Chains A and B, each alone.
Chain A
Amino acid sequence: MRFVDEYRDADKARTLAASIASLCEPGRQYKFMEVCGGHTHTIYKHGIEDYLPENISLVHGPGCPVCVIPMGRVDDAIHIASQPDVIMTSFGDMMRVPGGDGSFFDAKAAGADIRMVYSPLDALKIAQRNPDRRVVFMGIGFETTAPSTAMTVLRAAAQGIGNFSVFNNHVTILPAIKAILDSPDLRLDGFIGPGHVSTVIGCRPYSFITGDYGKPLVVAGFEPLDLLQSVHMLLAQLAAGRSEVENQYGRVVPWDGNAKALQVIGQTMEPRPYFEWRGLGFISHSALRFRDEYAAYDAESVFDIPGGRVADPKACQCGEVLKGVLKPWECKVFGTACTPETPIGTCMVSSEGACAAYYNFGRFTRERVKEATR
């Protein structure tokens, strides 16, 4: 398949791996964060760590939208879904995310009309087919997904569809990266930057990471060779004493992003003063809400929402996993009380959550292999 096979060539991977090993300074430990959950998924699925020398470790970041939604917002969404005339629509990945009082699946089992859709556009079609119901879309995702939500609201407004609204939980990646850089827990040498977020926002906004914090960042694609090449580019920067934003994923990511997509986001949404992230706490200007002109499509204006805050379960260490401080298997409940079927933490829910990716592909970390063979 075009754009896939050529990025999974094993011979090229071995050549790159040898080149990566030759760039490593003897005795130095390297720690790179892959910001995006999609990268975490590729790393576990294809065993990328097996191609890397032992002194390079990859740690996962906060870039899984389902993993960072706080429990209180899930409870609010279930409250909306439980109104008698409401059809709640959601991406499938949200269905098992636990709130303080169950998940969408639990609410559906208890009688709420909650339907899985593949896009907000599908949710809008449900609204057109059900004029006597109020149809709400659970808006979630980073800058990759926000354009789709924004365009759908603009389409609803243009077509005068009055029974459609969005519960907006869209978040933005830059404040989360900054929060991680300011966290004392973690020493990082560089970042593998998110590929599809960058399709929308471009590469320029990352310059504070390379400038103010002196950490190189390479925007990367999602195939195995993309990731190996990105690690190679990060090491080459470190070896040369450089700290720059580089774009490995040029076949998809334009340097300046997608101006039209940014325009529709800006037209319909604005930053919230602050938003709670699971495991990271409250981060200022890290999420989007609808502008007042679009209040008619804003579920937070249309419905009375409790807006309660729910503390994360004590046993769950998603926060440490999301910051890359813990590997999934180091969490106390990983694979025992917390599994993809009955997740306690959100990292176990989405296939791009670090814990689920690790669990599903059954990979032993190098540390654990050493322990097991000791």
Chain B
Amino acid sequence: MTTSQAGGDCAGDHCVTCSDEAVPVRILRIGDDGLAEVDTGDGRVEQVSVALVDAAAGDTVLVHAKEAIGVVR
């Protein structure tokens, strides 16, 4: 999610394909379609899918390629 915004290449801090740097995001609102608005921690709000995790607004989830795959406990 945070690979180099300018070029989208690997000059960024980590590789989006693997996205192995845990950048936890906090869920703000969950919609009916399995999509949620999340706070990325740097002031940005993004839309990601939360269809594969049991999480509620306020929870921190680990998102990979805009799909939440785990809840950070």
State the Cβ distance, A43 to closest chain B Cβ, in Å.
12
- Proximity bits, A249-273, B CB within 8 Å = 1, else 0: 0111110001011001000000000
A92-B10 contact given A258-B53, A351-B15, CB 8 Å threshold: yes
Which of A119-127, A230-238, A283-291, A306-314 forms part of the interface with chain B?
Answer: A119-127
Q: Which residues of A contact B22 (CB under 8 A)?
A: 3, 195-196, 221-223, 252
Task: Known pairs A38-B21, A351-B12; list 14 more (Cβ under 8 Å).
Answer: A2-B24, A36-B20, A41-B20, A65-B17, A92-B3, A93-B16, A119-B66, A119-B67, A144-B20, A145-B17, A145-B65, A147-B64, A340-B11, A352-B18
A38 to B21, CA, bound (A): 7
Q: Please, could you name 11 A-B residue pairs with CB atoms under 8 Å apart, sorted by A?
A: A3-B24, A91-B8, A119-B66, A121-B49, A145-B19, A145-B64, A222-B20, A222-B21, A258-B70, A261-B52, A349-B10
Asked whether B10 lies within 8 Å of A350 as measured between CB atoms, the reply is yes
Residue positions of B touching A, CB distance < 8 A = 1, 3-4, 7-22, 24, 41, 49, 51-53, 60, 62, 64-67, 69-70, 72-73
| Structural contact, A93 and B64, CB atoms closer than 8 A | no
Q: Is A140 a contact partner of B17 (Cβ separation < 8 A)?
A: yes
Q: Could you tell me the distance between the alpha carbons of A3 and B8 in the complex, rounded to whole angstroms?
A: 25
A356's partner among B8, B10, B19 (CB-CB below 8 A) is: B10
Number of A residues near B (Cβ < 8 Å) is: 57
Mostly, the B contact residues are loop
Nearest to B16 among chain A residues (CB) is A91
Q: How far is the CA of A66 from the CA of B49 in the complex (A)?
A: 24
The answer on a CB contact under 8 Å between B15 and A264 is no
Which of the listed residues B10, B60, B69 has the most CB atoms from chain A within 10 Å of its own CB? B10
Whether B52 lies near A260 (C-beta < 8 A) is: yes
**Nearest 8 pairs between A and B by C-beta?**
A38-B20, A92-B8, A119-B66, A148-B67, A116-B8, A148-B65, A351-B10, A199-B70
A323 touches B (CB below 8 Å): no
Q: Give the complex CA separation of A96 and B8 in angstroms.
A: 11
Asked if A37 is an interface residue, CB under 8 A from chain B, the answer is yes
Verify if A74 is at the interface (C-beta below 8 Å from B): no
**A264-B17 CB under 8 A given contacts A95-B8, A121-B66:** no
- Evaluate contact between A151 and B10: CB separation under 8 angstroms: no
* A72 CA / B73 CA spacing, docked (Å): 42
Q: Known contacts A38-B21, A93-B9, A199-B62; decide if A118 and B52 are in contact (CB<8 Å).
A: no
**Which chain A residue shows the least CB distance to B42?**
A1
Cα-based distance from A64 to B20 in the complex (angstroms): 10
Structural contact, A65 and B18, CB atoms closer than 8 A: yes
Q: Quick check: is A215 within 8 A (CB to CB) of the other chain?
A: no
Complex CA distance for A356 and B69, rounded to whole angstroms: 27
Q: Can you list, as one digit per residue, whether each of A148-166 has a CB less than 8 Å from chain B (1) or not (0)?
A: 1101000000000000000
Residues of B within 8 A of A321 (CB): none
In angstroms, how far is the closest chain B Cβ from the Cβ of A339?
12
Contacts of A94 in B (CB 8 A): 17
A299 / chain B contacts, CB cutoff of 8 Å:
none
* CA–CA, A221 and B52, complex, Å: 21
Cα A149 to Cα B15 with chains together (Å)? 17
Which one of B9, B19, B52, B66 contacts A95 once the chains associate, using CB atoms below 8 Å?
A: B9
